Homo-oligomer: A and B are copies of this chain.
């Protein structure tokens, strides 16, 4: 009996010692692996606490959101409400208006660890980087790598300049090009075109340039196209078609926001004199307001640099730091994961919409032919960012009204300098938004059959 007792004592003692050794090794390992955090602990814990708030998959809480009773408040997706966003609002409109690229949000939630970035209180307080510019060369290098993987742009021997989103780069490019000539430049774009080209150029009009509308109209006049600046969006917003400048002698600004495998085949790397890209349509971070231009001509580049220096002394270093972290994730592995993720999601959405509309005699959508893609190294089908939706019935001159009656919100064709028989429907938004759009479109097309058989 005493022997058994003694044995048990020994087992317990050895077990206890072993447990202690385990704890000590664990502690030392944590220290070695730099897992014992000090000043960064609070910020990290705050971010995790906010991320752990449950919003039923139909919303999320943010670090800078409202706090009620010490708890971060859920911000719900459209058509959801309640403290945890669990209540669906059945009469809520399917909003396919904006180009908010939330379809990529799940990608970043899957890459929570690698995409997080902790900004120290003293991070980059200065106006300039060590090289006295306001542009992070490390970020430039990452951008160049992303282009070389996506095979969507020739960057060699060209200059890179950053802007507050591609929006600002468009304006800077017009300014820069317009300084090349003493007479005012005429700014044009072929219809249908992205509305900002007109609204922005009109608002910021100087003595050096003015907006003159449709490039096709200008082409059809006897005009030579001299001293013309042409915006070319390729693939085009709203219709997703790959485009070239219609005025060969114009100074073209290529808006390449959508020239990623997400949205289009990449037949060849783009090689224009001015190409504008944005993180908004690459990683989905529209809120970060970060874009870049790839510029061939040194004088144009220097004019653009002067623009950014005088407009706001460069892009926020906080934004540049975050963009860098996001691009590091994009470049992980062979750098193709985000392109596969985005392409598959966009293709799936397009196919579902296509199939739905194929049952309709009243509505059509744009046709985009399959094409060889330099990135996927095969022929691939369409996956555009937007549906260019058309009401075919003669009486349906305002297609957005027709959609509105079916509780769908789109963007009217006239905003793109086209007919209101067209409506742009965004495929870029959250899964919730897309599912509701699809559901409402299916209902609309089904009712059409009902009407016709009545």
Within 8 Å CB of A119, what residues of B?
Answer: 47, 63, 116-119, 322
Q: Which of A10-18, A292-300, A409-417 contacts B (4 or more CB under 8 A)?
A: A10-18
Within 8 Å CB of A50, what residues of B?
Answer: 120
A133 CA / B258 CA spacing, docked (Å):
24
**Of B125, B139, B321, which one neighbours A284 at CB under 8 angstroms?**
B125
User: What residue of chain B has the Cβ atom nearest to residue A137's Cβ?
Assistant: B66
A306 CA / B171 CA spacing, docked (Å):
15
Q: Could you give, for residues 113-135 of chain A, a 1 whenever the CB lies within 8 Å of some chain B CB and a 0 otherwise?
A: 11111111111111110100000
Q: Could you give, for residues 93-124 of chain A, a 1 whenever the CB lies within 8 Å of some chain B CB and a 0 otherwise?
A: 00000111110110011011111111111111
A35 CA / B102 CA spacing, docked (Å):
31
A109 CA / B319 CA spacing, docked (Å):
21
Cβ of A253 under 8 Å from chain B: no
* A102 and B126 contacting across the interface, CB-CB below 8 Å: yes
A421 CA / B312 CA spacing, docked (Å):
30
Min CB distance, A83 to chain B, in Å? Answer: 14
Cβ of A397 under 8 Å from chain B: no
Cβ of A368 under 8 Å from chain B: no
Q: Chain A interface secondary structure, helix, strand, loop or mixed? A: helix
Cβ of A1 under 8 Å from chain B: no
A45 CA / B98 CA spacing, docked (Å):
38
Cβ of A366 under 8 Å from chain B: no
Q: Could you give, for residues 291-327 of chain A, a 1 whenever the CB lies within 8 Å of some chain B CB and a 0 otherwise?
A: 0000000000000001100111111111111101110
Within 8 Å CB of A316, what residues of B?
Answer: 164, 287-290, 315-316, 318-319
* B45 and A130 contacting across the interface, CB-CB below 8 Å: no
* A45 and B51 contacting across the interface, CB-CB below 8 Å: no
Cβ of A341 under 8 Å from chain B: no
Within 8 Å CB of A112, what residues of B?
Answer: 39, 120-122
A17 CA / B114 CA spacing, docked (Å):
39
**Of B44, B125, B307, which one neighbours A37 at CB under 8 angstroms?**
B44
A127 CA / B329 CA spacing, docked (Å):
22
A65 CA / B138 CA spacing, docked (Å):
7
* A62 and B123 contacting across the interface, CB-CB below 8 Å: yes
* Given A203-B306, A289-B317; 18 other pairs, CB 8 A cutoff: A13-B16, A37-B45, A39-B112, A40-B44, A43-B116, A47-B118, A100-B126, A105-B125, A115-B120, A116-B121, A118-B119, A121-B325, A163-B312, A203-B307, A204-B206, A204-B311, A205-B207, A206-B207
Q: Residues on A close to B: CB < 8 A?
A: 9, 12-13, 16-17, 19-20, 23, 27, 34-35, 37-51, 60, 62-66, 75, 98-102, 104-105, 108-109, 111-128, 130, 136, 138-139, 163-165, 167-168, 171, 196, 199-200, 203-207, 284-290, 306-307, 310-322, 324-326, 329
